[in-house]
Structure 1
Amino acid sequence: MASLKTLFYLGVCLCAWIITTADINLPAAENLHWVSIDFKTILKWTTKGDKHTVLYTWGQNDWIDTRGCIGVRKTECDLTEELQDFDRPYMADIRTVPEIEDDLDDPEDYPHTESKSFNPYKESSISIVSFTVQAVDESTVRVDITDTLSGIHRDGKQLSIRDIFKKELQYKISYSKQGTSGKREIKSDSSVKDVSGLDAGYSYCFTVAAFIPSRAKAHQQGPWSLHQCTAEIKTQGLSGGVWVGIVFISLTAIIITITVTVLCCRHRRHGSKRLQQSTQTSGPV
């Protein structure tokens, strides 16, 4: 019996040693990087199929467990809800955890990898914006831009990027006459911009990109949108050249009419004189 007990205890110790050794050899997560578009922020990493718990912090605060990424096997964690205070420098820590966690273990002893600092307000990418174009008159087109919705919610409302950036948000508008290569670019502080000084009767194509000049250059501008083109603007009046032609023809017609009238009057007067002279010459003696 003594030998059986000895073997039993030896087996227990061996299993404990194997588990402990396995825990020590747990691989840390690798290739941590942030992916954030319109303030929807996801932390991604690579793993060898292990379980991970994601924590985050800012400033000198303690690490906080994420609500949806505790002991998970997936290789990404959506931190949008945790980063609602968007203008802060956040850091994340991914800890590799064993299949069976012991209450006596100190989680800080597990292999872990910290991310780089990330500030959504300064670094979150802005996606392609949508807009419409409409002719105001023969030389002006109105560009109406839709402010993109963000991943941030306040009081039950989903905020737009205009709600977040306020006056810091601008738009770049690039446009050109259809069929030509020459482009012009202007900036707009608002979501509606009238582009004037266009050549009447031509179609123009527009493209728009969000622009935040207060950011570092690498994060200032979003991608350019698809082109939107106007229909050819049909002018109600006539062009200057046509009017010049009309005036020239009218003046010519008037001059010809006056000239013909004068000549006819002279011819009539001369005819009357000859008739009178003829009558006087052939009268009775």
Structure 2
Amino acid sequence: MLHAVAGGWAVLLSALLWRLAAAGNPDLPTAVNITWSSINFKTILQWQPKPSGYFYTVEINGMTSDTKRKCILTAETECDVTDVLRNVKETYTAHILSVTSSEMDNFEEPPFAVSEQFTPYNQTVLGKPEIKNYTQKGSKLNVVFQDPLTPYTFPNGSFQSIRDIFQHDLEYKLYYWKDQSSGKKDTRTKSHAFEVNVDSTKNYCFYVQGIIPSRRDNRNGQESVVLCTSVGRNILDEYGAEVFIIIAVIAIAVFTLAIVLSVILCKRKKAKAAREKEPLNGV
């Protein structure tokens, strides 16, 4: 019984302290529509509305790390928080404080809004892989690609790739199909290259996409550019039947025009020859 009463008082006291802390300037608007936007661990926090007569300050709170402040007294509605999320497996929340410049020195907590939780390792989007080289020789299609880089660096200053962070959790998919066809095939790898069997008489198009199979959500990354091989391509493969028809029509028109001009020139020559054979008047 005593334990229940003590627990009830603790809840009531916490609520009272929170309200007192938030009463620094209750008239200031608080942020709404707070979103995390993260690609390859570069993370931007965004919110609304645009401030007028006040500023925002962002506080990043980790489950097991100290609070860090970013974008202090900003008039913007976004903040790059990449550098304070280096522990990518940590779960963070953001407090967006609405403040005036004079309130920053007060002990009272200004009004604020709280974001949803964000864990970079689970939620950052995988960016587009860069295809470095591809060949189609005989019945083999080979594709070599490169991991996207992150904003984080090694001690020597070189940038870490997403593979350096995800390691064995990272896989890639190659989607490929016969040019001018809609039927796709796919295969996976944990390396930087694909080799697949194809029809040596056909050209193929393809793209590469990173995936994190262990994720429940947000598993698939952005797709690379689509590229196509050009082994034995003819004009019909390259441009399609429409262009071929246009070229044929133009060729027929040119041929017809040449025949018409030849007939006209021939008639003119015959008429001139006939006039030259006529006797002069008065002879």
TM-score (structure 1 length as normaliser)? 0.68
The AA in structure 1 aligned to 2:32 is E
Q: Is the 8 A contact 1:200 1:233 kept in 2?
A: no
Q: Does 1:149 align with 2:149?
A: yes
Deviation at 1:119, TM superposition (A): 0.6
Q: Is the 8 A contact 2:50 2:76 kept in 1?
A: no
Which structure 1 segments of 5+ residues have no match?
Answer: 1-20, 235-285
- The change in CA–CA distance for 1:129 and 1:93 in structure 2 (over 3 A counts) is same
Deviation at 1:106, TM superposition (A): 2.2
In the TM superposition, what are the counterparts of 1:1-285 in structure 2 within 5 Å? 23-49=25-51, 50-59=54-63, 61-66=65-70, 69-101=71-103, 103=105, 105-108=106-109, 110-135=110-135, 137-155=137-155, 156-196=157-197, 198-216=198-216, 218-232=217-231
Deviation at 1:224, TM superposition (A): 2.3
The alignment-based identity, stated in percent, is 34
Provide the rounded CA distance (Å) in 2 between the counterparts of 1:48 and 1:177.
50
Deviation at 1:189, TM superposition (A): 1.4
- The change in CA–CA distance for 1:102 and 1:151 in structure 2 (over 3 A counts) is closer
Give the greater-gyration-radius structure (CA).
1
Q: For 1:84, what is the secondary structure of its paired residue?
A: coil
Root mean square deviation, CA, Å = 2.0
Q: Is the 8 A contact 2:64 2:90 kept in 1?
A: no
TM-score (structure 2 length as normaliser)? 0.68
The AA in structure 2 aligned to 1:186 is T
Matched residue count: 208
Cα distance per residue 1:202-236 (max 9 Å; x no partner): 211111111110112x31101222211112159xx
Deviation at 1:23, TM superposition (A): 3.0
Q: Is the 8 A contact 1:149 1:160 kept in 2?
A: yes
Provide the rounded CA distance (Å) in 2 between the counterparts of 1:171 and 1:107.
50
